Chains A and B, each alone.
Chain A
Amino acid sequence: MTVTALASSVPFRRPRLIRAEVLKLRKRRGLVLTAGLLTVGAMLVTYTILVSIHAANPAHHGPAGGIQNLGHTIWLIGTLGSVVGILIGATAGAGDLGAGVFRELVVTGRSRAALFAARIPGGLTVLFAFVGIAYALTASGSVAFAGSLPAPSVKLLVESGLWVLLTTGFWFAIGLGISSIVGSRTTTIATLLPFQLAISPILANIKILGSGRAALPVIATDNLLPNAFGDTARTTSVNPTLSAAVALLVLAGWACAILAAGLWRTRTRDA
């Protein structure tokens, strides 16, 4: 069963609008291919390399699994999964507008708020199908290839899994909100990817910004990483340090504010 087929066959009955959102996303071949390569593909390549170099030279290269390697791959899934989250969010938010179909949906009489709201679970279903499989691969690999290294506990696997979903889901929400505001998938991706991949880590490491950096999502997500990974999964030096509650509030604040702005624009724009 393919990842996209899995996304459309999860074992509960989704409302029709959400199923329609899933259909629109999973039928985009380019998006599905990119998402698959950046998540499932990236994990397969990573573990293939780690297992191969360990097999070739066990003295120099440790086992492919274990907690530390899980930390590295969690960082990779967090980063690439966030990219996929932005791509899917931007597509979900501006897909109808870009295709000119938004007005066709508005003339059905269905509320614009309902049309907007359906994009969130619809997009997350597709995103989490890819990210979930990628995480399942890395979690399994970290245990199966642990060898002489300590294998991650179930608690750590659950915590790191939740962290992956939270991080990628957050960037999906930001992509969805921004694209609903600006009405353009391309503009959203061109703005958010450099911010998430380059500008945000740079800002987080500029010490002169002090505690103002606490407002950066990357600081919040780094603070929420399980402590067992140490620095292996972090993007920044995690300064300032935030409590889990504050870090969650920072992420929720950003996501709610941008989604609310996206909803407002969806309700007020000329269709």
Chain B
Amino acid sequence: MNANNPYVVETNALTKRFGARVAVDNVDLRIPAGSAFGYLGPNGAGKTTLIRMLLGLTSISSGSVQILGQPMPSGRAEALARVGAIVEEPRFHRHLTGRENLHIVAAAREREAHARVDGALDRVGLAKRADERVKAYSLGMRQRLGVARALLADPELLILDEPMNGLDPAGMEELRLMIRRLVGEGRTVVLSSHLLDEVEKTADAIAIVDQGHIVVQGSIDELTGRAATVIVATSDDLRAQALLTGHGAEPAEGGLRIPIADDNATAAINRLLVEAGLDVYRLEPERATLERRFLEITSRLGEAA
């Protein structure tokens, strides 16, 4: 990859049509290197179609794609050699063992990929079950084996389409930690998902897609915004509300909600309450969740339509 290029994926006016239906509509996507990037959208929004176009699994109707600085499809072999991916549900030869399935895909990659098989299995916690046939695996195990297969590329870019599907809460937590470790190693991980909470916990930046086009993209902080209010709980909320009337305090679930202009305002509120002899149990910035932002954006689109 070109060291001067801050993006591992760049698309320009990328479009995919199936007859009259436009599945991906003029998408300009920039995925920064070394980050966990969430690609969010409701079911049927065109997330998987876009991933399939990025990976050369389906043709592009118009527009252009660069992966790791390589134009697609001309630089496909060079680019995809350093890309690992799970597209939709990971699929395997069910009559082969987990280890054999990884060797099948390693055979299509560079020779060193075979030497990565054991490490990849160990990394996803399947080393002890690697010699069982895949048909005996649970959905969660297949999902983890899919991640192991994606790691055979020693990927600079890892694309995971709905990776949390089939995982129990412990499995989700493991995958979340693994993704953060991979990002810590300097890799880029793209998560396509409709599970907003999981993406918010894992990703540094996101794009929200709806009806084939990206409606917003940026860092989580940019999209959810800085806190505009704080929730305060004290030993006497009625007295606190009287003290903070000038700050616009009003009752809320679990205490009082107070608009703030900046962090200095939060400190001033705390000082006022303490100097008045009140015990402050809670003073919490209240941020918009990704879910709230997502619903705002998609419902606005729904109203516009």
Contacts and interface: CB of A to CB of B under 8 A. Distances in A.
Interface stretch (B83-91, B173-181, B248-256): B83-91
25 contacts: A17-B108, A24-B96, A27-B100, A95-B93, A99-B91, A99-B92, A99-B94, A100-B89, A101-B92, A101-B105, A103-B87, A103-B91, A104-B91, A105-B105, A106-B57, A107-B57, A107-B80, A107-B87, A108-B80, A108-B105, A108-B153, A115-B108, A270-B52, A270-B59, A271-B57
B78 interface: yes
A191 B91 CA distance: 27
Nearest to B78: A109
Contact of B58 (A99, A110, A271): A271
A189 to B, nearest CB: 17
Interface string B100-126: 110111111101001000000000000
A257 interface: no
Contacts of B55: 106-107
B157 to A, nearest CB: 11
B79 interface: yes
Interface string A90-123: 0000010001110111111111000100000000
Give the top 3 A-B pairs by smallest Cβ distance, nearest first. A100-B91, A109-B80, A20-B107
Nearest to B51: A107
A109 B76 contact: yes
Given A101-B92, A101-B93, A115-B108, A107 B103 contact: no
A110 B104 contact: no
B93 A20 contact: no
Nearest to A31: B95
A76 to B, nearest CB: 29
A13 interface: no
B103 A108 contact: no
Contacts of A136: none
Interface of B: 52, 55-59, 76-81, 83, 85, 87, 89-96, 100-101, 103-109, 111, 114, 149, 153
Interface string A6-24: 0000000000110110011
Nearest to B57: A271
Contacts of B106: 16
A212 to B, nearest CB: 40
Given A100-B91, A270-B57, 19 more contacts: A16-B111, A17-B107, A19-B107, A23-B96, A23-B104, A24-B104, A27-B100, A99-B92, A100-B89, A101-B93, A101-B101, A103-B57, A103-B91, A104-B90, A104-B91, A106-B55, A106-B57, A111-B77, A270-B52
Nearest to A114: B108
Contacts of A28: 95
B85 A107 contact: yes
Contacts, number: 84
Contacts of A107: 55-57, 80, 83, 85, 87
Residue picked from A103, A104, A106, A108, most chain B C-beta under 10 Å: A108
A104 B105 contact: yes
A29 interface: yes
A107 B105 CA distance: 10
A109 B108 CA distance: 8
A101 B104 CA distance: 10
Given A23-B96, A23-B104, A101-B91, A270 B80 contact: no
A90 B174 CA distance: 40
Interface string A234-267: 0000000000000000000000000000000000
A1 B111 CA distance: 28
Nearest to A103: B57
A108 B76 CA distance: 9
Nearest to A271: B57
Contacts of B85: 107
A15 B89 CA distance: 29
A51 to B, nearest CB: 37
Nearest to B87: A103
A271 B108 CA distance: 16
A107 B149 CA distance: 11
B107 A29 contact: no
A24 B90 CA distance: 18
Contacts of A105: 104-105, 108
Contacts of B90: 104
Contacts of B103: 20, 23
A104 B67 CA distance: 17
A24 B93 contact: yes
Contacts of A20: 103-104, 107-108
Interface in A35-79: none
B149 A104 contact: yes
B92 A109 contact: no
